[in-house]
C-alpha cells in the first residue's frame, strides 16, 4: 500500500484487512483485531433481523474508507441507495483503492465519479444531516469515541439521526457508552446491545422492539439515570468538541444524580 494521507497512518489489522490511525486525534478508525471483521460483526450482522429481500435505504455516518458500505454491498442483495457522510474528502476519493473485492471497489469507484445509488457528502455531518430528506432502513453510526469527537455523539445530533429512521429500521453503532445510550433512550426509541462471543459488541436501536434481540436489563437501564449517563449537548449543532466536553464536565460536576459507583454499591448491599 503506497498511499499516504495527511495525519493518517495505514496499518494491517489482524484479519489482514487495512486499518487507519489518525495521528491528530490519536485514534484508530478500525479495530486492530480486524477492520473487515469489525464491520461485519458490529454493523452488518445486527441487521439480519430485517427483511433483506426488499430494497434498502442506508445512511453511513463516518464513511472513512468505506468498510461498512462495502460490507453492506457484499451481504445485502437489494440496496436502493446509500448516503455516505464523511469529513475527509481524501479518504473518500481513494476508498476504492483499499483492499476489498474488485467488484465492490469498482462499484465504489464508479459512484464516486458519477453517483448512481451511492452518494457522498463531504463536510461536517451535523450540517449534512439537517438537509437529508430520506428515511432509512439502516443507519451506521461509526464516529470516533465521544471523548475525541463529541460533536457526533451529542443528544441533539442523535435526535436528528433517529428522526431519519423508518418504523422498522435499524440503527447500529459500536458505541455502547452510557451518554450515547441515554441520548438514544430519550428519543423514545427502543435500544439494546449487540452481543458477540458473550461480550457486548455495540448498540442497536429501533422503533420496533421486536427487532431488538438483546434488550438492556434492569440494572443497565438504572445506570442510565446516573451521572455517568449525562449526555453531550450541542443544541444548535455548532459547538466545538472542546466546548461540548467542557459543558458536560460542568454538568456532571454540578449534578445531584447518583454516581455510577454509588449505584453499584447500593446494588451490592441489596444483593
DSSP SS3 for 14: coil
Strand 79-86 with 18-22, pairing: unpaired
**Nearest Cα to 156, choosing from 122, 191, 124, 130?**
130
Distance of CA 43 to the CA centre of its chain: 8
**Main-chain phi, psi angles of 64, to 5 degrees:** 65, -120
Residue with cell 451529542: 154
Quote the pLDDT of residue 14.
Answer: 66
DSSP SS3 for 90: helix
Q: What mean pLDDT value characterizes the chain?
A: 91
The DSSP 8-state label assigned to residue 77 in this structure reads S
Strand 136-141 with 118-122, pairing: unpaired
Q: What is the dihedral of CA 35, 109, 76, 36, to 10 degrees?
A: -10
Quote the pLDDT of residue 1.
Answer: 46
Alpha-carbon distance of 74 to 102, in angstroms, equals: 11
pLDDT tens string 27-68: 666 555 567 888 999 999 999 999 999 999 999 999 999 999
What Cα–Cα distance (Å) separates residue 161 from each residue in 51, 110, 184, 237? 21, 27, 10, 12
Digitized pLDDT (tens) for each residue of the chain, 271 residues in all: 446 666 767 666 666 666 666 667 666 665 555 678 889 999 999 999 999 999 999 999 999 999 999 999 999 999 999 999 999 999 999 999 887 889 999 999 999 999 999 999 999 999 999 999 999 999 999 998 898 899 999 999 999 999 999 999 999 999 999 999 999 999 999 999 999 888 899 999 999 999 999 999 999 999 999 999 999 999 999 999 999 999 999 999 999 999 999 999 998 888 7
Rg of the chain on CA atoms, in Å = 19
- 50 neighbors 74 (Cβ within 8 angstroms): no
pTM of the model: 0.91
Give the DSSP letter string of 111-146. HHHS-SSEEEEES-HHHHHHH----EEEEEE-PPPH
Alpha-carbon distance of 13 to 58, in angstroms, equals: 26
Give me the domains of the chain, ranges plus CATH numbers.
31-217 (3.40.50.150)
What Cα–Cα distance (Å) separates residue 126 from each residue in 122, 151, 201, 233, 239? 11, 8, 26, 13, 10
Quote the pLDDT of residue 98.
Answer: 82
- 10 Å CB burial of residue 104 (0-12, 13-18, 19+) is middle
Alpha-carbon distance of 8 to 65, in angstroms, equals: 12
pLDDT tens string 162-177: 999 999 999 999 999 9
Alpha-carbon distance of 216 to 225, in angstroms, equals: 14
Amino acid at each position: 500500500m503506497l498511499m499516504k494521507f495527511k495525519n493518517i497512518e495505514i496499518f494491517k489489522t489482524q484479519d489482514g484487512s487495512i486499518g487507519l490511525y489518525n495521528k491528530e486525534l490519536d485514534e484508530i478508525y478500525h479495530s486492530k483485531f480486524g477492520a473487515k471483521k469489525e464491520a461485519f460483526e458490529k454493523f452488518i450482522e445486527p441487521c439480519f433481523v430485517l427483511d433483506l429481500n426488499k430494497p434498502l435505504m442506508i445512511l453511513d455516518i463516518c464513511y472513512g474508507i468505506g468498510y461498512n458500505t462495502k460490507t453492506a454491498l457484499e451481504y445485502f442483495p437489494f440496496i436502493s441507495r446509500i448516503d455516505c457522510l464523511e469529513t475527509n474528502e481524501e479518504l473518500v476519493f481513494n476508498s476504492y483503492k483499499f483492499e476489498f473485492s474488485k467488484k465492490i471497489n469498482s462499484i465504489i469507484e464508479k459512484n464516486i465519479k458519477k453517483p448512481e445509488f451511492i452518494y457522498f457528502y463531504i463536510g461536517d455531518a451535523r450540517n449534512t444531516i439537517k438537509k437529508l430528506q430520506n428515511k432509512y432502513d439502516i443507519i451506521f453510526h461509526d464516529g470516533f469515541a465521544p471523548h475525541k469527537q463529541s460533536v457526533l455523539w451529542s443528544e441533539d445530533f442523535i435526535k436528528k439521526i433517529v428522526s431519519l429512521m423508518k418504523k422498522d429500521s435499524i440503527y447500529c453503532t459500536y458505541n455502547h457508552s452510557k451518554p450515547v445510550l441515554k441520548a438514544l433512550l430519550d428519543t423514545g426509541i427502543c435500544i439494546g446491545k449487540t452481543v458477540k462471543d458473550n461480550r457486548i459488541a455495540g448498540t442497536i436501536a429501533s422503533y420496533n422492539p421486536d427487532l431488538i434481540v438483546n434488550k438492556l436489563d434492569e440494572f443497565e437501564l438504572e445506570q442510565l439515570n446516573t451521572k455517568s449517563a449525562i449526555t453531550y449537548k450541542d443544541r444548535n449543532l455548532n459547538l466545538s468538541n472542546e466546548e461540548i466536553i467542557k459543558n458536560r464536565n460542568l454538568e456532571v460536576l454540578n449534578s445531584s444524580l447518583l454516581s455510577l459507583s454509588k449505584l453499584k454499591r447500593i446494588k451490592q448491599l441489596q444483593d
